[in-house]
Structure 1
Amino acid sequence: MSFDLDTSDPYLAAAAVLRERFAVDAVARDKQGGRPAEQLELLRASGLLSLTIPTAYGGQGQPWSTAFRITREFAKVDGSFGHLFGYHFGSVHGAYLGGSPEQAADLYRRAAAGNWFWGNARNSFSRTLFGRRDGAHYVLDGYKPFTSGSHIADYLQISWLDPSGQEFTLAAIPTDRAGLTIHHDWDGIGQRQTGSGRVSFDGVRVHESEVLDGRRHAGRPFQSVGVLLQQSTLLNVFIGSAQGALIAARDYTREHSRPWIYSGVAKHTEDPWVKRTYDDLYIRTQAATLLADRALNALDQAWGRGFDLTESERGEAAIAVAAANALAGETALEVTSKIFEVMGARSATTSNGFDRFWRNVRIHALRNPAEYKIRNVGTWFLDGTYPEPGIFQ
């Protein structure tokens, strides 16, 4: 098994071309941070922004497995852009999961026609944005942190609390709305171009028609599938980062690494320790990839069921994603750290930029502790209890 894409699929072939373009300046952009503006325009030109929008509304109608395999491919060289690409689709489908069919159809059509890129300002942990009713509008004041993609988005999915702090409301609005300020203040050690900083709201008006009205499907298991999309973005960024780091390390080892003075070999690649280390990292990454593929299949099946999805079907998909997520994160952390041991001291320079793989994975994993995924899988294995749908499960 290799980590190459099946480029007989035209969408995956387009992604492979973009990956090579992103790789050219990935190290420099990681150091710079800010907005991946040129990369976004390349993505727009590729047509991939409407990849999962149904064909009836002007999209390509491709499955989630295709979108997340592309997420992996981008993350091989640029974890930030893989993150942005995956999260984009979660917001694209926000109205389908949390709104009315009419709202979903309208936003699908406009997003496909406008070639929109979506971000989000709906962090459910944050209790820092409040909205009050004012006639046919809501008026929003406060801010949201961790707003991935907001800095390059055309449209945002947002959420706020009512004045009592008891009820969340969801909506979709353009990023040029009066009173909306995107601060570009993300300063994490990794994922430096994700724009995961603050968005503030100063008297922002949201029309009631923009509020996502999901009462028709309230309580159905399918409405909670959105969290599995988020988790699938995370796990496929892990997979892509592990694969990309391992490929980059192998190439460096072949071309630049020198044997240790006590190794007794003429070439670094002939050292049994080096061979065994790469063997172990490859096997682990291969296993994590196969489990991630299984999760993609489960997600495609769950999504295909639509609002007929049952609790047990949703639970099976949640377990598949949780198991893959836990292994992917732990594998990516190990791979992106251990490659330095077999590349050698000269690899650990800022000009090489290999550290970006570890930094991206490290900060990404902090959003998504593996411990709680593992507990959910263990509980299900012991007594058959599926995870209760929630913010991260």
Structure 2
Amino acid sequence: MSYFLDSFVQNNRQQEMLETAESLAAKFKQRTEETEQSAEFSKDNLEDLKQTGYVTLPLPEKFGGKHINLSELLMMQERLAEGDGSAALSIGWHMGVVMELSEQQLWSQDQFEAFAREIGEKKLVVNRAASEPATGSPTRGGIPETKAVRQGEHYIVNGRKTFTTMASVLDYYLVTAYIEEKEAIGSFLIPRNTRGLEVEHTWDTMAMRGTGSDDLVLQNVKLPQQALVELNQGKSSKPKGWLLHIPACYLGIAVAARNDAVTFAKNYQPNSLKTTISEVPHIKQKIGEMDLKLVQAHYFMYGVARKWDEYPESREQLGTELAAVKTSVTNAANEVVDLALRIAGGRGLSKQYKFEQYYRNVRAGLHNPPMDDMVIQMLAGKALKSV
């Protein structure tokens, strides 16, 4: 088990969950070279996630899940990310969507129960497709250029979605579109084999290559009315605790980098020294700085998560704290990985080690929502109202 997670495991159930995540992480780690080359989500990883029942864990027990709480989600996601950050971030979106649907009653009860039963029985995976080339992140408030037009008893949907994580292996897509007749934004649940739906392999970034976050292209996709499962009619969005899977992932990457850096320091001895570099004062200083940042990040993130779990009546007031966790923890993770690279020195840039991969991947966290500038403005606004 992760050295940093010891303090947060509360019972045998969580111990068993972490052991499952640890076993998966070990397998995923062996496949990172393959996914780095292909820029696709590993089908072998997906098969392991389905066979172990990992993808069903957020579901209520009656649908075959374990109704995991936020703290449990974060512990498992962090542990997965120690093995492969790309795989952890990817499946984290599925886990979060299912958790959100289970907790927030965004759909009608019949729609949710039918979908939950199918996920539980068939071990299916889903993700939202919301970002677009022109609008950027949906958190910025842009209106989707993807359009849904009513034709009789059906909707015809056309558009293009970017950053659709796991696009080529998803079983369902939750696609946002502007619905002209309703003058509102809605989300359609679309099965992967629907006519007119195509995944275009566009994922060419240097970071998180294994997420396979390709474009989803919709050309005259014909959907029944019941495919419209969500409608945004100007209601304020509730805080989304599950989004902490993002900082949990980058924290896991940072822990992996820290572990590799400590191992490197304990084993590397240049001929100019009588000891390994672990005994050099400035190396010890960097190791201590890494652990200080990681301890602080863990207590902040899991402290807020426990608050979410134990006081559900207070969740409406946790939006600012959740956002602060993402910004604080993700930036701390970047700082830790930077220190790990400084410990490894020039060797850290070699493909022989994973330091350069950690460095590329952890940077991606700065561009996941909510963005730093939005969080800082949120905190400032709250401060100005409180005095």
TM-score range, shorter chain: 0.7 to 0.9
Match of 2:128 among 117, 120, 142: 120
Q: CA shift at 1:72, angstroms?
A: 0.8
The residue aligned with 2:269 is 258
The answer to whether the aligner puts 1:229 opposite 2:231 as a matched pair is no
Question: What 5-or-longer segments of structure 2 have no aligned partner?
Answer: 132-137
Change over 3 Å in CA distance of 1:301–1:356 after alignment to 2:
same
Change over 3 Å in CA distance of 1:94–1:206 after alignment to 2:
farther
Q: Distance in 2 between matches of 1:55 and 1:106?
A: 14
Q: Is the 8 A contact 1:91 1:157 kept in 2?
A: no
Q: Distance in 2 between matches of 1:104 and 1:93?
A: 12
Matched residue SS, 2:203: coil
Q: Is the 8 A contact 1:191 1:364 kept in 2?
A: no
Matched residue SS, 1:342: helix
Structure 2 matches for 1:156-305, cutoff 5 A? 156-163=173-180, 166-213=183-230, 219=235, 224-226=238-240, 228-230=241-243, 232-255=244-267, 257-259=268-270, 261=272, 266-301=275-310, 305=312
Question: What 5-or-longer segments of structure 1 have no aligned partner?
Answer: 386-393
Structure 2 matches for 1:241-390, cutoff 5 A? 241-255=253-267, 257-259=268-270, 261=272, 266-301=275-310, 305=312, 313-368=314-369, 369-384=371-386
Q: Comparing 332-341 with 44-53, which one deviates more in the overlay?
A: 332-341
Q: CA shift at 1:343, angstroms?
A: 1.4
The residue aligned with 1:106 is 114
Q: Distance in 1 between matches of 2:271 and 2:223?
A: 64
Q: Comparing 179-188 with 291-300, which one deviates more in the overlay?
A: 291-300
Change over 3 Å in CA distance of 1:324–1:213 after alignment to 2:
closer
Aligned length: 369
Q: CA shift at 1:55, angstroms?
A: 0.9
Q: CA shift at 1:56, angstroms?
A: 2.0
Amino acid at match of 1:103: Q
Matched residue SS, 2:229: coil
Q: Distance in 1 between matches of 2:224 and 2:358?
A: 42
The residue aligned with 1:57 is 63
Matched residue SS, 1:150: coil
Q: Is the 8 A contact 2:41 2:166 kept in 1?
A: no
The residue aligned with 2:25 is 19
Q: Is the 8 A contact 1:118 1:157 kept in 2?
A: yes
The answer to whether the aligner puts 1:135 opposite 2:168 as a matched pair is no
Q: Is the 8 A contact 1:119 1:152 kept in 2?
A: no
Q: Is the 8 A contact 1:91 1:156 kept in 2?
A: no
Change over 3 Å in CA distance of 1:119–1:267 after alignment to 2:
same
Change over 3 Å in CA distance of 1:234–1:384 after alignment to 2:
farther
Q: Distance in 2 between matches of 1:64 and 1:276?
A: 34
Residue by residue over 1:209-250, the C-alpha shift from the partner in whole angstroms, topping out at 9 and shown as x without a partner, is 1211569x984x6x5234x423x1221112111111111211
Q: Is the 8 A contact 1:348 1:355 kept in 2?
A: yes
Change over 3 Å in CA distance of 1:155–1:240 after alignment to 2:
same
Q: Is the 8 A contact 1:68 1:86 kept in 2?
A: no
Q: Is the 8 A contact 2:239 2:316 kept in 1?
A: no
Q: Distance in 2 between matches of 1:104 and 1:134?
A: 25
Q: Distance in 2 between matches of 1:30 and 1:250?
A: 24
What TM-score does the superposition give when structure 2 sets the normalisation length?
A: 0.87
Q: CA shift at 1:375, angstroms?
A: 3.0
Q: 4+ runs of 1 displaced by more than 6 Å?
A: none
Q: Distance in 1 between matches of 2:386 and 2:166?
A: 37
Q: Is the 8 A contact 1:30 1:356 kept in 2?
A: no
Q: Distance in 2 between matches of 1:169 and 1:297?
A: 32
- Note the aligned Cα RMSD (angstroms): 2.5
Identity of aligned residues (%): 20
Q: Comparing 79-88 with 371-380, which one deviates more in the overlay?
A: 371-380
